[in-house]
Structure 1
Amino acid sequence: MDGPDRGLSRRAFVRSAVAIGGASALAACLQREESEDVPQAALAPEDLPDRQHAWNEFLSTDDHGNVHPPEHHLLLGLEYVGNGPADASGERERLESAFRTLEKAYRRGNDGLVFAVGYGPVYFDRFDGDGPEGIDLPAPKALTPFEDPAFDEYDALVHLASDYGHVTLSAEEALKGELEQLNGLETEGSFNDIFEVAGRRTGFIGRGLPAERQSGVSGIPDSEPVPEDAPMFMGFKSGFRHNQASEDRVTIPDGPYAGGTTIHLSKIQLHLHQWYEQDSRAQRVSKMFSPTHNTDNLVEGAGQNLGDSSGVTDGPNTAAEAARSKGTVGHAQKAARAREDGEPIILRRDFDSTDDETATTHFLSLQRSIADFVKTREAMTGADLSGPPTNSGILQYLTVRNRANYLVPPRERRSLPVPNPR
């Protein structure tokens, strides 16, 4: 990875290395990030929260309390190498040792590592009887009449995230059994001979990162590039604190998987030529937020000035009224309709990607049940609203390529869970 890559910025080079993966990419990434001292864990594994998805208290925040997600993300789709149900004879202990190695080697947070492992319907189908007890975990399906996605059929999903690319790559290599030491600690366990990596997706999120990675990427016009201050390819900030469900809200409250959650993962291809070349700034603001945001000049740049809320929290009738009176309804207006007791019901941890040199968003959401995601997706689609589809939020700029559902058990059950832990 020498030669032509020497002209890349450090951040762009590291993102390229994460996308490539493997030992050579890790070595090159370590060279570029060698000055970064990554701390080992501050807490013993047994002192960490039982919720795998309890990331927020360990992640940095801005002045408004919005969580700063880690810059680098890696998704590993895993297939169990056996033919039948997961075999507990030593496999569970070896896999748990591997996860605990990650927890000991890196402090939990942006400057270390956060991760979670989930299991899909295909995994639980290996067992006789019903699926995981008391859990809504259906097989994925198309959720709109105009999509035809492929359905991921991985047994498990591992989500790794860090501000440092070499941390995600090192964690991946350690899980595969390719490293003897991880951040100065001896590695224990791996998923070698338990799982094999059948799918690998990477991505990034953060102010200025999409602009740095957009050159030559399919789906983004060269003539009207992504703004420099944008954290995602569509040019605007998301993940406002008051437009996200809390980790408490997305946690399964009772039953054998209490303390867990579910993941819905969509791979979405972006088509941004019209978005940037034909739509005006005013149209983009109207379609992303609301027509009022445009007429009242509420959004500066990428929307960092909005503080801890998108400003679209006015209830279920706001979107319908905008569609009737303005002929345009904002994406945020539609999404805000999927609330209970005034609060959102999904927690988004999505990020952009240039895998295969194509502009993509990996929409990863956490919720108590997949039904909560389906409800939110129906609100985002807005099939019940009047007006032309071309003015209904951002639908026309997105194509869903893949869908998948996973159960994320509490930490004590994360290694080869059984459907009925009782």
Structure 2
Amino acid sequence: MSDGPNRGIDRRAFVKSALAIGGASALSACLNRTDSGDVPTGSESPPERQHAWNDALARDDHGNAVEPPHRLLLLLDYEGNGTPTVGEREAVATALSTLDRAYAWSHDGLLSTMAYSPAYFARFDASLPESTPLPDPRALASFEDPTLDTPDALLYLASDHAHVLLAAEQALTGEKDTLNGVDVTAGFNGVLDVAQRRTGFKGDGLPAEHQDANGVPTSEPVPEDAPLYMGFKSGFTKTQATEERVTIRNGPFAGGTTQHASYMRLNLEQWYEQDDREARVGKMFCPYHAENDIVEGTGDNLGTDAAMSKAKPAAQAASEDGVVGHNQKMVDVREDGRPIILRRDFDSTDGDHAGLHFVSFQRAIDDFVATRDAMTGDELAGDTPVGRRTNNGILQYMDIANRGNYLVPPRSKRALPTPRGDA
């Protein structure tokens, strides 16, 4: 690795590659090639809500949560026959608690959620209670044809340090005896098998450093300071549901939540080469923002909100302007001024193509479906009275490749639960 001015870029590109490859050799190389530093160990019990990350995240100058830059999704298949045994539950519980003891519940340590799919719960005779519906994933628009993910479980890991994610994976798969100084006494091996790995990143400058993937234009590069491939900031405090709003309130899984995980391939060549900045602002936010230069750079000047108060209702903008913005459409599914889903999505170069892993948490999957229906905006997409076809947000720049639905139990029930919440 050079010591010249591109040293930081080389290091971060290498870290991305190591995380995508995975395995013991990638972990070793990552530790050798990066300044790993000391990672704090877990000193207190993490919150009962697995999705309670906000208090453990860094904050920007406006107070918005800043999510960890490195992400890993492990799609897991149950290796046994029938339903899990007591011994298998104990092994999974011990493995997950080892992660909690090895790393602080912090962006500087390790944040996680362990979730289960409809396919997992279908192996039991009992059904999930009415208080916790978990529908099978499905296409959510006429133009979609996604692969419907059916692993038994999904483990979502996030950290400021890529080597932490690699080491945690190695411990879970029985390939490490110690983890950040903590003995590993149990793993997933023999109980849960890693069927697929999905990796990615999010943060200022990271997409610009990962432009060597298909779907990214060379003539019009991603802005150098953009936190996401499409060039704009997301995750403003007031454009996110609260953790309380997405928490299940009743039944055996009270304190948990539901999770949707999609993978979208991005067409950034069209996004950057077909549209100028004003058009991109109009489609991401709304025409008012584009016409009045409301968005500076990536949008950090907006503070804690996307500033939709001066935007026309979506239907009015579609009719009068022929353009309706993505954020503009989301206003229609707000509750008490806030969305009803909590997004923790991230960019990716999985499959050597620019993409987005859209991960959201919501009290019920129906909340995600309602949000997605608003994004699709079928009623907005037709011809306008002035003879123009509506430019309908950002839909045309992404292709939905995968969809999956999951239940995230509270922490005390996260190890191979039954449909009635036994753990």
Question: What interval of TM-score do these two structures reach, taking the shorter chain for normalisation?
Answer: over 0.9
Among 169, 176, 183, the residue aligned to 2:166: 169
SS for the counterpart of 1:70 is coil
Q: Match for residue 392 of structure 1?
A: 392
Note the residue ranges of structure 2 that are not aligned, 5 or more in a row: 384-388
Give the alignment partner of residue 66 of structure 2, picking from 52, 65, 68. 68
Q: How big is each residue's C-alpha offset from its partner over 1:33-85, in whole Å with a ceiling of 9 and x where there is no partner? A: 34421111231x3xx21100000001101111111000000000000001211
Q: Deviations over 1:189-244 (max 9, x none)?
A: 111100100011000000000000112x1111111010001000000000000000
Report what 1:110 is aligned to: 107
SS in structure 1 of the partner of residue 171 of structure 2: helix
Q: How does 1:226-245 map to 2 (within 5 A)?
A: 226-245=222-241
Aligned-partner SS, 2:304? coil
Deviations 1:287-322 (A, max 9, x none): 00000001110111111111100112569x611111
Contact kept, 8 Å, 2:324 with 2:390, in 1: the verdict is no
Q: Residue 304 of structure 2 corresponds to which residue in structure 1?
A: 308
TM-score normalised to the size of structure 1? 0.95
1:32 is aligned to 2:33: yes
2:261 matched residue in structure 1: 265
Match of 1:122 in 2: 119
- CA distance change for structure 1 residues 402 and 313 in 2, over 3 Å: closer, same or farther? farther
Offset at residue 421 of structure 1 (A):
2.8
Of 122, 135, 156, the match for 2:132 = 135
Distance 1:298 1:363 in 2: 26
CA–CA distance in 2 between the matches of 1:133 and 1:283?
45
Separation (CA, whole Å) in 2 of partners of 1:63 and 1:6: 27
C-alpha distance 132-99 of structure 1, shift in aligned 2 (>3 A):
farther
> Is the 1:328–1:387 Cα contact (8 Å) retained in structure 2?
no
On the 8 A contact 1:132/1:418 being kept in 2, the answer is no
Please state how far the C-alpha of 1:169 moved relative to its aligned partner: 0.4
Please tell me whether the aligned partners of residues 137 and 406 of structure 1 are also in contact (alpha carbons under 8 angstroms): yes
Residues 314 and 405 (structure 1 numbering): CA distance in 2 closer, same or farther, change over 3 Å? Answer: farther
The 5 A counterparts of 1:134-283 are: 134-215=131-212, 217-283=213-279
Q: Please, which of 302, 319, 324 is the counterpart of residue 324 of structure 1?
A: 319
CA contact (8 A) 1:287 1:331 kept: yes
SS of residue in 2 equivalent to 1:378: helix
Alignment partner, residue 50 of structure 2:
52
State the secondary structure of the residue aligned to 1:10: helix
Partners of 1:35 and 1:131 in 2: CA distance: 43
Q: Distance in 2 between matches of 1:314 and 1:374?
A: 26
1:324–1:387 Cα contact (<8 Å) kept: no
Shift of the 269–160 alpha-carbon distance from structure 1 to 2, 3 Å rule, reads same
Tell me if structure 1 keeps the 8 A contact 2:116–2:408.
Answer: yes
Equivalences for 1:331-370 in 2 at 5 Å? 331-370=326-365
Change (3 A) 1:390 1:357: farther
SS at the partner of 2:142? coil
Deviation at 1:390, TM superposition (A): 6.3
> Which secondary structure does the structure 1 equivalent of 2:324 belong to?
coil
1:253 aligned counterpart, secondary structure:
coil
Matches of 1:174 and 1:202 in 2, distance apart?
18
Structure 1 gaps, min length 5: none
Instruction: State the distance in 1 between where 2:43 and 2:296 align.
Output: 39
Q: CA deviation at 1:336?
A: 1.9
- Kindly indicate whether the alpha-carbon contact (under 8 Å) linking 2:129 and 2:251 is maintained by their aligned counterparts in 1: no
Measure the CA separation in 2 of the matches of 1:198 and 1:313: 45
Q: Cα gap change, 1:246/1:313 in structure 2, threshold over 3 Å: closer, same or farther? A: farther
SS of the aligned residue for 1:96 comes to helix
Aligned to 1:81: 79
Give the percent of matched residue pairs that are identical in Structure 1 and Structure 2: 57
Aligned length, in residue pairs: 414
